[in-house]
Amino acid sequence: MVQSMMFKLSKVRQAVLLAVSVSACTVSATEFNTDVLDAEDMQNVDMSQFSVAGYVPPGDYVLTVFVNGQRLGAPRDITVLAQHAICIPANLLDLIGLKDSAKQKVTLSEAGQCLDFSALTGVKSTVELSTLSLKITIPQLWMEYRDPNWTPPALWEEGVNGAFVDYSANASVIEESRGSKRVYLSTNGTTGLNLGAWRFRGDYNANYQKQHGGSNPQETHRFDFSRLYAFTSLKKLASILTIGENYFYSDVFESWQYSGIALESDDRMLPPKLVGYAPEIIGVANTNATVIVRSQDRVILETTVPPGPFRIQTLDSGVRGVLDVTVREENGEEKTFSLNTASLPYLTRPGRIIYKLVAGKTRYDGHRLTGKPVISGELSYGLSNAWSLYGGTQLNGDYQTAAIGIGRDLFAFGALSLDMTQSFARFTHHTLQGRSYRLNYAKSFDELRTDITFAGYRFADRDYRTLSQFIDQSRSGHVARVAKENYQIYLNKYFDNFSLSLNYQYSTYWQDKPQTQYGLYASTNISIPGLSQQDANISLSATRTERDNGYKDDAINLYLTVPLYRGHNITFSERYSRAGEYNQYSHSVGYSGYSDRDNYSLNVGYNHGQHMQSQSSFSGYYSRDLSQANLSTNVSYVPQQYRSFGASINSGITATAHGVALHRSANGDTRLMIETPGVGDVPLDSGVIKTNRFGIAVIPNVNSYRKSTASINTSQLPENLETLQSTTDITLTKGAIGYRRLSVMKGEKLFAIVSLSDGKNPPFGASVRNADNRELGIVGEEGVTWLVGISPQEILSVYWAGKKQCELRMPDNVTSLSSMLLLPCAAPAPALSTANVTPAK
């Protein structure tokens, strides 16, 4: 019987496929030759949903709307009135992107609930139940400008209300051989609350340090919020409005801290644009080290790196001014250096105005306010394709400054900008007036594969004061350091198998000695016959810092990395360093490996040098990316010196009315909450992120004002899960908590024979649906039906002739059946007994 059913089932499949293919190829009603069905009653066939192309039974559906292939946000309630009569909701009119002239031709029908496009030639709409989508095709004649890489503001979403905490936590314990022990704990992050279009934020820092044993026991701790503020996106102005404590990252003046209100344009809200510049931090760690980056005394990044060279490229493109970088080695030794983030030549697109405005009071040491209120503003205007004009002013009762500059696109010769700033500062007993001049240049030599990324020069006379210098001098009576000249050059050169980077920074001061920083980075690949199937890599880094006390700090690092097999390498390194009068040499060999989620390294080294005992060292580092966090840990041991252990975690938690989920840190920025209702352990995107037991997951750091796509990783989906909607996209404003549902059915898959109370079977083509009106199967010949997404004791409904005809109930156990089920289908009743559900013989 089963074999007979299987044979007939294959014919059923052929008939259904034939029906679908024929209906897809014609727009008129189609008659089917049912002779291919070996059925006793040829009249017991319901081909209504196959006989007309794209047939959709009238009713209400939740569908994703596409206009010319672009998705219009979340799925929406769509009503199918009759064949080829679809009610497109009236509230979609402003989202579709029609020209104003075309909007005026669109009328309303069905008591003002539906859009009528009959006056627009060429508009077509089709419902596809297989993809749960409504596809609207509109000729470009009626459409506004569209770009596949840009979403119009009408489609941006503010997200849902919610709260979150993003954090980074670090811990280290160092035990020295002479008996002392140091414990260092730190955490920093952002707390947030989203209400409508407003985002409320608080950046916090906390640290605890304890040293006991030895001659100098001590214990310190600190916790504070470095800034508290709120902001919202003003779509029509393409700007961000900020209220509270913040950092004014200026492109014309030096950056400063304020408490007040600010309005500044955000180019991310515009169609395709020039990519903004983000500073890059390059350095070398001798041990498992913690890298701390500060801007205006605020920690903007704290991360752990293994021994060797590191490159940090995750800073926000809006960061400006001087960055203070601290590399804290595991033995407590700290190295500090500063990075002056020069800006690109100030060029603005023709006709475009970029502006920043702020009004408030300057602040220092966290939340302390000082001085009189300040009004500061700057703007840039694109005069033409080649010329831009920019400038700004800062006004205080005792301090005024004004700047004006020009930007020039030299086309084949690069781009440059030149500006002049005049300051006037009134102190208690005297006044100071001064000027500052600045020149920036950038050029990419494509034919030479060379980039002069930044070349900057600045000169300021003795009496020139920035706003921050004026505030410091007003409070303390003097200013720590008055800059005179500053040169910056960053050069990158690329060869076929070799790359070279050079940087140079020279700073002079009116009262202090100059400082100079040099850097050289080179890398090439070489072939080692018989040792590896892949090329080995040799890299060299050399840096020198000439300090104002006359000392020179040097570091030269040479690395040879040989790939052994997929994801595993062995690295040999030689290092020379000099700090003032002390020299040190280091030799090490390391083994490392990585995969999609894991990264680890083991190192053995030997150190010797002037004024130090020779010593060996052993260290290990491991990190793992989880759905809820990024974890890392490290250990080190230096005989007769110290041993250490460290760990770090980057994570967050987001809560909305839809649920709560742990996730990787989003650093206070935009995120997307995905719900697979009631179904957990669903892999998303690459599969690292999965929904929790409640069916909730959060994808951190999604794009702002740009379309973001999230999808179910069907290749990793468990066998008992079936996806109905595997992909979604969304465009969110800055800082939003987005929300999307992805439909997943959890249940078993089985064959069943559906029978009626009179012993007959439902007609061929009848639809079996669950309580959510999801179609789980189509009745075949003699009632044979392939069902998916089935749960024990679930009540299903069978539809034909356009309406619900009967109900059937699944047995208590659907996982261990070895044969097809016989499922009685009775008229709808309050409850159905499972006593009559028996396996088919």
321 SS3 class: strand
Write the DSSP string, 14-42.
HHHHHHHHHHHT-SS-----GGGS--S-T
pLDDT at 39 over 60: no
pLDDT at 276 over 60: no
**Lowest mean pLDDT segment, chosen from 58-67, 138-147, 745-754:** 138-147
* 532 has pLDDT over 70: no
Distances in whole angstroms, Cα of residue 658 to Cα of each of 64, 173, 195, 277, 725: 20, 40, 15, 37, 19
- Lowest-confidence range among 125-134, 261-270, 497-506? 125-134
Q: What is the pLDDT of residue 479?
A: 84
Whether 820 and 840 have beta carbons less than 8 Å apart is answered as yes
Mean pLDDT of 524-532: 78
With beta carbons less than 8 A apart as the criterion, state whether 251 and 320 touch.
Answer: yes
Sorting pLDDT into bands at 50, 70 and 90, what band is 651? very high
**What per-residue confidence (pLDDT) applies to 153?**
85
How many whole angstroms separate alpha carbon 814 and alpha carbon 746?
A: 13
CA gap 264, 328 in Å, rounded: 36
Span of 66-75, 136-145, 567-576, 812-821 with lowest mean pLDDT:
812-821
Which range among 264-273, 523-532, 552-561 has the greatest average pLDDT?
A: 552-561
> Highest-confidence range of 217-231, 277-291, 429-443, 646-660, by mean pLDDT?
646-660
Tell me: domain 235-276+345-479, CATH 3.40.640.10, correct? no
| pLDDT per position as a tens digit, 791-803 | 888 999 999 887 8
Q: Which residues contact 726 (CB under 8 A, 6 or more apart)?
A: 711, 712, 714, 742
Report for 299-308, 428-437, 719-728: range of highest mean pLDDT: 428-437
**How many CB atoms neighbour CB 224 within 10 A?**
11
Here the tokens at position 6 are 């299987």
- Does position 835 have pLDDT exceeding 70, yes or no? no
Q: Is the pLDDT of residue 433 over 80?
A: yes
Residues 6+ apart with CB under 8 A from 3: none
Q: Please report the DSSP string for 239-284 in residue order.
A: EEEEEEEEEE--SSS--EEEEEEEEEE-GGGSSS-PPPP---EEEE
d(CA 388, CA 629): 45
Q: What pLDDT was estimated at residue 274?
A: 41
CA distance 156 to 633: 40
Average pLDDT over residues 49-67: 75
* Residue 446: predicted pLDDT: 59
| Separation in Å, CA 67 to CA 81, 84, 116, 136, 183 | 20, 17, 15, 5, 59
Report how far residue 416's alpha carbon sits from residue 301's, in angstroms, rounded to the nearest whole number. Answer: 31
564 three-state secondary structure? strand
Ranges of each domain in the chain:
2-53+747-839, 59-149, 235-276+345-479, 278-342
C-alpha separations of 451 from 223, 412, 445, 467, 490 in Å = 43, 13, 6, 34, 8
Mean per-residue pLDDT for 455-480? Answer: 88
Q: What share of the chain is helix, strand, coil (3-state, %, to 5)?
A: 10, 55, 35
Q: What is the mean pLDDT of residues 47-75?
A: 75
Tokens of 834: 């499972």
Residue 293's DSSP bridge partners are 301, 325
pLDDT band at 205 (very low <50, low <70, confident <90, very high): very high
Single-letter amino acid code for the residue at 286: N
pLDDT-based confidence at 377, cuts 50/70/90?
very high
d(CA 105, CA 245): 49
Strand partners, 544: 518, 554
How big is the CA angle at 522 (ends 518 and 525), to the nearest 5 degrees?
175
Q: What is the DSSP string of 639-666?
A: TTTEEEEEEEEEEEEEEETTEEEEES--
Query: By mean pLDDT, which of 304-318, 419-433, 636-650, 807-821 is the weakest?
Result: 304-318
Domains 2-53+747-839 and 235-276+345-479 fall in the same CATH topology: no
Least confident of 6-10, 328-332, 467-471, 608-612: 6-10
Assigned fold of 2-53+747-839:
Immunoglobulin-like (2.60.40)
| pLDDT tens figures, 581-617 | 788 999 999 999 988 789 999 999 999 988 788 899 9
Q: Please determine, for residue 211, whether its predicted confidence score (pLDDT) is greater than 60.
A: yes
What ranges make up the beta strands (E) of 595-734? 598-609, 615-625, 629-638, 642-656, 659-663, 671-675, 683-684, 689-690, 696-700, 707-711, 721-723, 727-731
Cβ atoms of 760 and 782 within 8 Å: the answer is no
Q: Across 57-66, 163-172, 245-254, 715-724, which has the greatest mean pLDDT?
A: 163-172
Which tokens sit at 157? 């979403």
Class of domain 59-149: alpha beta
Q: What pTM, to 2 d.p., does this model score? A: 0.76
| pLDDT over 90 at 336, yes or no | no
- Specify the pLDDT at position 10: 39
Looking from the CA of 364 toward its CB, the CA atoms found within 13 Å total 10
Taking a C-beta distance cutoff of 8 angstroms, is the pair 677, 669 a contact?
no
H-state helical runs in 82-231:
93-96, 100-103
Share of the chain above pLDDT 70, in %: 85
Which long-range contacts (C-beta less than 8 Å, at least 24 apart) are formed by 398-402? 398/371, 398/372, 398/425, 398/426, 398/427, 398/470, 398/474, 399/374, 399/423, 399/424, 399/425, 399/426, 399/465, 399/467, 399/470, 400/424, 401/253, 401/466, 401/467
- Provide the pLDDT for residue 663: 96
pLDDT at 356: 95
Domain 278-342, what architecture? Sandwich (2.60)
Confidence of residue 17 (pLDDT cuts 50, 70, 90): very low
Residue 228 pLDDT level (bands cut at 50, 70, 90): very high
Higher pLDDT pick, 17 / 778:
778
| Least confident stretch, 425-434, 628-637, 814-823 | 814-823
Closest CA to 115 of 142, 140, 141, 153: 142
Q: Would you state the pLDDT for residue 5?
A: 39
Q: pLDDT class for 47, splitting at 50, 70, 90? A: low
CB atoms within 10 A of CB 40: 10
Closest CA to 345 of 446, 413, 396, 447: 413
| Residue 1 confidence (pLDDT) | 40
> Residue 304: what pLDDT?
75
Res 3: pLDDT:
41
Of residues 277 and 535, the one with the higher pLDDT is: 535
User: Residue 278: pLDDT above 50?
Assistant: no
Distance CA(92)–CA(604), nearest Å, equals 64
What is the pLDDT averaged over residues 764-780?
87
Q: Name the region of 226 (left: φ>0; alpha: ψ -120 to 50; beta: rest).
A: alpha
**Range with the poorest average pLDDT among 208-212, 408-412, 644-648:** 408-412
Q: How confident is the model at residue 14 (pLDDT cuts 50, 70, 90)?
A: very low
State yes or no: pLDDT of 833 exceeds 50.
no
- Predicted pLDDT of residue 635: 96
> pLDDT exceeding 90 applies to what percent of the chain?
39
Q: Give me the sheet containing 671-675, strands edge to edge.
A: 696-700, 671-675, 737-741
pLDDT, average across residues 626-653: 94
- Other C-beta atoms closer than 10 Å to the C-beta of 149 total 8
Confidence check: pLDDT of 18 > 70? no
pLDDT at residue 724, rounded to an integer:
73
Residue 743 CA to chain centroid, in angstroms?
Answer: 23
Q: Which residue has the higher pLDDT, 512 or 548?
A: 512
Q: Which has the minimum average pLDDT: 192-201, 339-348, 362-371, 416-425? A: 339-348
Indicate the pLDDT class of residue 163, thresholds 50, 70 and 90.
very high
pLDDT at residue 319 in the model: 58
State pLDDT tens for residues 72-111. 877 888 988 876 689 999 988 888 888 888 999 999 988 8
Task: Output the average pLDDT for the chain.
Answer: 83
For 555, 655, 682, 833, the CA distances from 662, given in Å and listed in that order, are 41, 9, 15, 42
- Residue 477: per-residue pLDDT: 81
Between 86-100, 754-768, 817-831, the lowest mean confidence (pLDDT) is in 817-831
Strand pairing category for 256-265 and 353-364: antiparallel
